[in-house]
Amino acid sequence: MSKIASQGGIQPSMPTAFCIVAAALGAAMHIGKLPPAVPVLERVLGVTLLQAGFLLSLVQFAGMCLGLMTGLAVQRMGLKRSMVGGLLVLGTASLLGSLAESATWLLVTRAFEGLGFLWVVLPGPGLLRMLVPRERINSMMGVWGTYMPLGTSLALLLGPWAMLLGSQDSGWRIWWCLLSGVAILMALLLFWQVPSDRSVRDHAEAAAPDKSVTRTLLALTLRSRPVWLMALTFAVYAGQWLAVVGFLPTIYAAAGVASTTAAWLTALAAALNMVGNVVAGRLLEKGISAPVLLSAGFLVMGTGTLLAFGAHIGPWWQYAAIMAFSAVGGLIPATLFSLSIRLAPRPDAVSATVGWLQQWSSAGQFVVPPLMAWVAVRAGGWQWTGAVSAALCIAGLCLALSIRTELERLRSPRFQ
For 262, left (φ over 0), alpha (ψ -120 to 50), or beta? Answer: alpha
The structural domain count of the chain equals 1
Radius of gyration of the chain (CA): 20
Please indicate, yes or no, if residue 6 is contained in any of the structural domains: no
- Contacts of 254 by beta carbon, 8 Å cutoff, 6+ apart: none
- The amino acid at 375: V
DSSP state of 323: H
Q: Using one digit for the tens of pLDDT, what is the confidence trace for 209-224?
A: 556 667 787 788 888 8
User: Distance between CA atoms of 248 and 219, rounded to whole angstroms?
Assistant: 40
Please indicate, yes or no, if residue 2 is contained in any of the structural domains: no
Note the pLDDT of residue 207. 42
Please indicate, yes or no, if residue 106 is contained in any of the structural domains: yes
Note the pLDDT of residue 252. 76
Is residue 68 within 8 Å of residue 218, measured between CB atoms?
A: yes
User: What residues make up the domain containing 253?
Assistant: 14-415
Q: Using one digit for the tens of pLDDT, what is the confidence trace for 304-340?
A: 999 988 777 777 888 899 999 999 999 999 899 889 8
Please indicate, yes or no, if residue 235 is contained in any of the structural domains: yes
Nearest to 340 by CA among 133, 86, 144: 144
Note the pLDDT of residue 8. 40
Note the pLDDT of residue 5. 37
pTM of the model: 0.72
Q: Using one digit for the tens of pLDDT, what is the confidence trace for 148-183?
A: 878 888 887 888 888 888 777 788 899 999 999 999
- Following DSSP, what letter does each residue of 189-231 receive, concatenated? HHHHHSPPHHHHHHHHTSPSP-HHHHHHHHHHHHH-HHHHHHH
**CATH number of the domain enclosing 277:** 1.20.1250.20
Sign of CA dihedral 287, 292, 298, 303: negative
Note the pLDDT of residue 85. 92
User: Distance between CA atoms of 105 and 96, rounded to whole angstroms?
Assistant: 9
Please indicate, yes or no, if residue 8 is contained in any of the structural domains: no
Please indicate, yes or no, if residue 5 is contained in any of the structural domains: no
Flag residues of the chain having pLDDT under 70. Answer: 1-13, 56-57, 59-60, 62-63, 66-68, 71, 75, 197-213, 259, 412-416
Sign of CA dihedral 39, 59, 277, 121: negative
- Angle, helix 331-343 to helix 350-379, in steps of 10 degrees: 150
Note the pLDDT of residue 41. 83
Note the pLDDT of residue 293. 96
Note the pLDDT of residue 180. 96
Note the pLDDT of residue 24. 93
